[in-house]
Amino acid sequence: MAYGVISQWTSTVAINAALETEAREKYLPGIKALGALHAFFVSTGDTTFNVVTIYPDEATATAAAEKQKALREKAAAELPVKIVGELRGNVFAMS
C-alpha cells in the first residue's frame, strides 16, 4: 500500500517564481531519489506550502526519513523557509 508524507512549511517571504524554480529543480529530484513515486509542492497561502510525497510503501518512507531530514535542513539553511509540521500515513485511495 502506498504511504504519504506531508510536510508543512512557512516562508519569511511570499512564495515566488524563484522559490518555485528552486523547489522544482533542486529539491524535487532529491525527494524522488529517496524512492518517492510522486512529490507535489502545493502552495497553501502567500507564505505557506505543503510538500506531499507518495512512497510505494511505509518501509521505503521510513528508510528515506534520515535523508529526507537532511534535505529539509539544507532547504531551511539555503532558503527563507522552515518546516512547521509533518503528517504521515497510509494512502487508502489514489488514482
| pLDDT tens digit sequence for 71-88 | 999 999 999 999 999 999
pLDDT on residue 50: 98
* pTM flag (> 0.75): yes
Q: End-to-end distance of the chain based on CA atoms, in angstroms? A: 13
Of the pLDDT bands very low, low, confident and very high (cuts 50, 70, 90), residue 17 is very high
Q: Cα separations (Å) of 84 from 11, 33, 51, 57?
A: 10, 23, 12, 24
Alpha carbon of residue 31 to chain centroid: 7
Q: What is the Cα–Cα distance from 1 to 16, expressed in whole angstroms?
A: 35
pLDDT on residue 30: 94
When pLDDT is averaged across residues 29-49 and rounded to a whole number, the result is 97
Which percentage of the chain shows pLDDT scores above 90?
A: 98
